[in-house]
Structure 1
Amino acid sequence: MKKFLLITYYWPPSGGAGVMRWAKMTKYIPEFGWQPVVYTPSDNEVAVHDESLLTEISPDLKIIKTPIWEPYDIYKAFLGRKKKEKLYSGFINENKKESLAQKISVFVRGNFFIPDARMFWIKPSIQYLKKYLRDYPVDAIISTGPPHSMHMIADALHKSTGIPWIADFRDPWTNIDFYKDLRLTKWGDARHHRLEKRILTNASKVVAVTWRMGDEFKELSSRNDIEVILNGFDDADYKSADAATLDKEFTIVHVGSMNKDRNPEVLWKAIQQAIFLSDPLKEKIKIKLIGPADFSVRESIEKFGLKDYTSFIEFVPHADAVKIQQKAQLLLLLINDAPSSLSIIPGKLYEYLGSGRPVLSIGPSESDSAKVIEMANGGVVHDYDDLEGIKKRILEYFTLYQSDQLIGSSEGTGKFTRKERARDFAGLLDKII
């Protein structure tokens, strides 16, 4: 069987969105003639641990681990935070508004840790893997980022060995929503763009996870062969889950992190007004926000009088998240209100579709996320400013809930399975060798 080396920062028992694409891909891709060899840090700093994901990993999978040094202990000490305190990506501040120390740390992060704080693992990894590949050859290399330091490792290996290399981008680099918050100097911004273009130019193939991201990479790299391989859901997760009995309350559930750009006040205002118009809704509604939430989200919930209806749950294992989604009356998809909003497809959307429950999305109606929802017949999309439309939709869904008629659709979801995405990646690997 042909082999490829996968270079990834996130790997079980790391939890969260960053790990799912390749934990699932390595599960299914051997069925299509490719055996992965995983290279990942042995002691990396991650915000979420999910031991349940270890059950996804085949005992036959070869996993190589080497130590990584990251500057997070220094960062925590500078901010006066405890050594064991979790750090969340995506600019989530749980406690207070940004302090001067936080502003300085963001400046250092953006301008000195380029492409990211895992940069100190690049050279040791190149040295280690050059020797490893001489002893244990592979047919291809795949790097997945962010963090984009993984691509820097693969770029050097590709240059020195000539092994074909796929750069897999789960998120954009300079077009990511929080890039504007990095307090970049002209020099820092130029270096990020220069390294991004280098990776996009040098890779044998570049893969994006959304259509518009692929178009953006074409413009940045002047190459027309950018591939798009979407994320998906693992239907085995839903087949193995206990048969879900729907929540008795009218539950509106969001699974995943919520930063300040993913906090649509129009939604909270619409819910507030809907509750005012409907006493039965007031008695039955329950909002569940599962995952780390920025302080601004909590402020908005209180501002619109929804605190008593809302529960915040910082983390649940993936297996439990699947069950929660299946039991929810309504699933909430929030697209970041940011310049990159059109190109965002949160990985949770595919899992929402796998659950078979209806999806209410707040974001651009012409976005890639909206396209997936339409293709799967999975729910509805309302723009950020559509207060009346959102309020009306919530009341309509509640009426359906009252008569046990609030159902989802699974007729178009088959094309979005993890197994199909593994088939796509295997086909691309076959092309480049």
Structure 2
Amino acid sequence: MKKALIICYYWPPAGGPGVQRWLKFVKYLRDFEIEPVVYVPQNPHYPIQDESLLAEIPEGIEVIKQPIFEPYGLASVFSKKSTEQLSSGIIKAEEKQSVLQKLMLFVRGNLFIPDARKFWIKPSVHFLEQYLKNNPVDCIITTGPPHSLHLIGLRLKFKTGLPWLADFRDPWTQIGYQKKLKLTRASQKKHSELESKVLTGADHLLVTSYATQKFFEAQTPKPVSCITNGFDEENVPEINLDKSFSLSHIGSLLEDRNPKVLWEVLRELKAELPEFGSDLRINLAGKISASVVDSIKAEGLEENLKLHGYISHQEALQMQRSSQILVLIEIDSAETQLIIPGKLFEYLAARRPVLSIGPAESDVKKLLKDTNAGFYFEYAQKAQLKETLLTSYRAFKERGMPTVDADLKAYTRRHLTAELAAILHRL
């Protein structure tokens, strides 16, 4: 059996999407002759926690922990709320930022390169170099963001010569929020240089979307594989569909992803159809920006809105299966074309129709078309969005919304782990 050292930041009890990918890979790797050893921070700053995920760690898995210094703890002395928002990825529009928030963004972008977890690089390399002398492994895996973890892999590769796979759950310099960090030219250059070193230093690169794969293949001669996120074939008790015409978005909905066109369409339908207002329910679960809530209220939809806050993974699965329509929103930008949100695959597993709004070119659009699992709209396609929602509502009233019937085996976590294991056995 091959042994793999997996270096990651997000690990139970961390909640949210960042923890899911490698928790699930670890869950199945032993089935494919790979024994995982997981290295994580001892005292991380997790903006979201979900204790229920601890039960998913397989019995007997070795988890090594070492202390980490994170400047978020110091920053919270000045503004706990701003610090929590920044660490969660919530960045307000520039015109709405306070002087303190602008300063914090500048410091985050220019002093902490590639990110605020950079102080874990040196002690981790020192610790793991000694650990590997007494506990040999066959390969090293790093997963980011935070992309500072790839620099741990880069240095260990140099010191040990072990094969190294770098997994990018999100892009680095092409990620959407990079432009908001008020980077100087020198800082932009430093990010690009570090990214290039990782892309050319790793033995194999792993990404989560086909667009990112194409982008990286143009940057490096090293092999790049796309293994998307996926879903577990979980035993969720049978759940009745909502009696309301429920549209549910599960996960963070931040200011840049505020789908104003959707709220406008729902307001118009509510005004035009006598029963629509009493049937409509908008479920938002997770971190929701105040600007999103304000937009919904401005369209007269406050009585239709239900804010659930952060919910556990099990509660999320239940909501996905009971909703009439699942909503997926992405920022209308070139950068988000490189991302397939992890929640899409759980949406597919729920077999409820997906309504997605995003940029013109997106892997999400292709995936929904291939699986016939829902509808994809650009932000400018208001008339088409309205017509689809009207058709869906009529189906809901007359015969009920249909269940998605598609072969989704290729997106199960076990199948995806088999693909990963095949790569690791070739390293």
* 1:345-390 CA-partner distances (Å, limit 9, x unpaired): 1000000000010001112354101111122221111111111111
User: Which residue in the other structure is 1:5 paired with?
Assistant: 5
Could you tell me whether the CA contact under 8 Å between 2:143 and 2:169 is conserved in 1? yes
Partner SS state of residue 257, structure 2 = coil
Using the alignment, how far apart are the partners of 1:120 and 1:160 within structure 2?
19
What is residue 110 of structure 1 aligned with on the other side? Answer: 109
Instruction: Give the CA deviation at 1:423.
Output: 0.4
Give the corresponding residue for 1:231.
Answer: 229
1:391 match: 386
Give the C-alpha shift of residue 410 in structure 1: 3.3
Counterpart of 1:117 in structure 2: which amino acid? A
C-alpha distance in 2, partners of 1:293/1:97?
16
Q: Which residue of 2 aligns with 1:78?
A: 78
Superposed CA offset, 1:191-237 (max 9, x none): 01110011001000011100111111122x232621111110111x2
1:309 corresponds in structure 2 to 304
Secondary structure at the residue paired with 2:318?
A: helix
Equivalent residue, structure 1, for 2:236: 241
Gaps of 5+ in 1: none
**Does residue 1:139 correspond to 2:138, yes or no?**
yes
From 281, 287, 292, the equivalent of 1:286 is 281
- Mapped pair 1:429 → 2:420: no
In structure 2, C-alpha distance between the alignment counterparts of 1:247 and 1:294, rounded to whole Å: 25
Q: Give the letter aligned to residue 18 of structure 2.
A: G
TM-score, normalised by the number of residues in structure 1: 0.95
- Alpha-carbon distance in 1 for matches of 2:309, 2:56: 23
Shift of 1:97: 3.1
* Matched-pair contact (CA < 8 Å) for 1:46–1:87: no
Q: Please report the TM-score for the alignment, with normalisation by the length of structure 2.
A: 0.97
Determine if the alignment matches structure 1 residue 186 to structure 2 residue 195. Answer: no
* CA–CA distance in structure 2, aligned partners of residues 202 and 157 of structure 1: 11
Paired-residue identity, %: 40
Q: How many Å separate the matches in 2 of 1:251 and 1:195? A: 45
Q: Distance in 1 between matches of 2:360 and 2:267?
A: 23
Root-mean-square deviation over aligned CA pairs: 1.7
After TM superposition, list the pairs within 5 Å mapping 1:23-422 onto structure 2: 23-79=23-79, 81=81, 88-92=87-91, 97-219=96-218, 221-223=219-221, 225-235=223-233, 237=234, 240-364=235-359, 366-422=361-417
Q: 1:167 & 1:318 partners in 2: Cα distance?
A: 27
Runs ≥4 residues deviating over 6 A: none
Classify the secondary structure of the residue corresponding to 2:418.
Answer: helix
Greater alpha carbon shift after TM alignment, 210-219 vs 165-174: 210-219
Distance (Å, rounded) in 2 between the aligned partners of 1:307 and 1:280: 16
Distance 2:140 2:82 in 1: 38
Aligned length: 426
Q: Which moved more, 1:73-82 or 1:388-397?
A: 73-82
Q: Distance between the aligned counterparts of 2:299 and 2:81, measured in 1? A: 31
2:19 corresponds in structure 1 to 19
Distance 1:132 1:247 in 2: 52
Quote how far apart the aligned CAs of 1:81 are: 4.6
Aligned counterparts of 1:245 and 1:208: Cα–Cα separation in 2: 36
What is the distance in 2 between the residues matched to 1:406 and 1:81? 41
